[in-house]
Structure 1
Amino acid sequence: MPRSKRDKKISLTKTDRKGLAWKQKIIEDIRHCVEKYPNIFVFQVQNMRNNLLKDLRQEWKTNSRFFFGKNRIMQIGLGRTKAEEIEVDLYKLSKRLTGQVGLLFTEKSKKEVLEWAKKYWAVEYARSGFKATETVVLPAGPLEEFTHSIEPHLRSLGMPTKLQKGVVTLYSDYTVCEEGKVLTPEQARILKLIAKPMAKFQLTMKCSWTKESGFELHVEDDINDDEDKTDSGQGDDVEDEEMDQDESDNEEDDDEE
């Protein structure tokens, strides 16, 4: 039988790469924010969750702007060296854009932001690789919070379960995790299923720059600000003309809203 012309395979895994135009726009947005907002902070994220960061963006959108994406692009926006910086000492912020960090541009005062950051946190479910903060043991007996249909899935995760008169039942005590030990993917899934969050989403303000008082370090580090060179954390420098090349950095959450 001849193959139909309508029978075409379409790959759902292919998406357009974010190219040079998108990256240049981020740089322009950052430079515009330097002019617009009086205060800039470099924040570090613990237990990153996209949904919580989006909530913060929504909450702060009237007088602030969050950037969280490629560190090297944000560095270029601020200026990686004294020669490139668009305001005095902004290159010191660039030096600290390493790891899971972002930029906060805001009209709120430095004191207000620092006090908020100390108090703000949100509980979230831990992922694999996270060190358990406590030992969790499930006693033998019925697990009435689960429907009978999920029992095979629980068994596939390593739990000693069976159906007893249509009720999911543990036939022996089961240790989900032990304090201080790294969670496996299976353990992380079980903790989510039993509604046991362990991780804490937090923002730590590493340093700040204000038009009024300039640069200030809030968390001590070993970065030498006298060296007129920015370490991107990637082991290489990125020139403007190279920005259209494919990069393997994490793009799951950028500054576009």
Structure 2
Amino acid sequence: MPKSKRNKQVTLSKTKKKGRDHKEAIVNAIKQAAESYNSIYVFSYENMRNLKFKEFREKLKSSSRFFLGSNKVMQVSLGRSAADEIRPGLHKVSKLLRGDAGLFCTNLQKEEVERLFNEYEEYDFARTGSSATEKVELKEGPLEQFSHEMEPYLRKQGMPVRLNKGVVELISDFVVCEEGKPLSPEASRILRLLGIKLATFRLRLIYRWSDGDFEFYIEGPDDSDVESA
């Protein structure tokens, strides 16, 4: 029987795409911040955790403002060349917005910013596909941290286990992950069950601009291009 043309599936989860108005709002917000705050920093991030970042941002919202998102939009906001920059030297900041990077606009003193960023570090469970920072190996024998109900689930994750008098037992040594290799979905689940956090959410300062005063925190292959721009 042919399908009825009236029988069409409608996706209720569809959301409206962020268009030109959204981009213009971000551009205007960054321009306003660049004119309002004394200093602008470029920072990079590793193992981003949105909830943790939100907490850090809330802590500093009275004196500062963070911007994350499209590097291209942030570059346009600051100006890509000396001809279209909104304040002297900001096109140099623009050139450093590459990869996992963001902007930090603030009235805090330089020493306070450096202290906050250097001290900030949050540990969390590593996600599937991320590189393991160390080798995790379980030795043959009882796994008393797991109840007997967990045995089928652990076996499903590839662990060589059995029940021995009601106790979950590894029948041979088992490598959960190898240092430097991507985590499989099974490995990330096992690490979470074991309570082992291999991901560290960090923010690293790259560059500081403050009324014509510039400073690099991390040297890169294109630093000379930025300085001569």
**TM-score computed with the length of structure 1 as normaliser:** 0.78
Q: Distance in 1 between matches of 2:155 and 2:228?
A: 56
Asked if the contact 2:124–2:201 (Cα under 8 Å) also holds between the matched residues in 1, the reply is yes
Q: Deviations over 1:85-119 (max 9, x none)?
A: 10001011110000000011111111211122222
Of stretches 99-108 and 188-197 in structure 1, the one that deviates more from structure 2 is 188-197
Matches of 1:198 and 1:191, distance apart in 2 = 8
Residue number in structure 2 paired with 1:155: 155
Q: Give 5+ residue unaligned stretches, structure 1.
A: 1-6, 229-257
Structure 2 counterpart of 1:56: 56
Correspondence 1:197 to 2:197: yes
Aligned to 1:3: none
8 Å contact from structure 2 (residues 35, 87) kept in 1 = no
Letter in 1 for 2:80: R
Distance 2:147 2:219 in 1: 51
**Equivalence map 1:238-257=2 (5 Å):** none
AA of the residue aligned to 2:213: G
Give the residue type in structure 2 aligned to 1:219: I
- Residue 161 of structure 1 contacts residue 169 of structure 1 at CA under 8 Å; is this kept in 2? yes
Separation of aligned partners in 1, 2:210 and 2:18: 31
Distance 2:127 2:31 in 1: 35
Identify which range, 114-123 or 129-138, moves more after superposition: 129-138
Structure with the bigger RCO (C-alpha within 8 Å, sep 6+) is 1
Distance 1:159 1:97, change over 3 A: same
Using a 3 Å threshold, how does the CA distance of structure 1 residues 71 and 175 change in structure 2: closer, same or farther? same
In percent, how many aligned pairs have the same letter? 44
Equivalence for 1:73: 73
1:22 equivalent in structure 2: 22
How many residues were matched structurally?
221
Structure 1 CA distance, aligned partners of 2:87 and 2:72? 18
1:146 matched residue in structure 2: 146
The answer (yes or no) to whether the contact 2:65–2:106 under 8 Å persists in 1 is: yes
Distance 1:117 1:33, change over 3 A: same
For the aligned residues, what is the CA RMSD? 2.2
Asked whether the 8 Å contact 1:40–1:103 carries over to 2, the reply is: yes
User: How far does the alpha carbon of each residue in 1:72-92 deviate from its partner, in whole angstroms, 9 at most, with x for none?
Assistant: 111111111111110001011
CA contact (8 A) 1:39 1:209 kept: yes
Q: Which moved more, 1:197-206 or 1:113-122?
A: 113-122
Structure 1 CA distance for aligned equivalents of residues 83 and 59 of structure 2: 36
Q: Greater shift after overlay, 46-55 or 180-189?
A: 180-189
More helix, by proportion: 2
Q: Distance in 1 between matches of 2:39 and 2:198?
A: 33
TM-score w.r.t. length of structure 2: 0.86
Structure 1 position 43, deviation (Å): 0.3
Aligned to 1:219: 218
Structure 2 counterpart SS, 1:225: helix
Q: Deviations 1:121-155 (Å, cap 9, x if unpaired)?
A: 11122223433332222223333433444433322
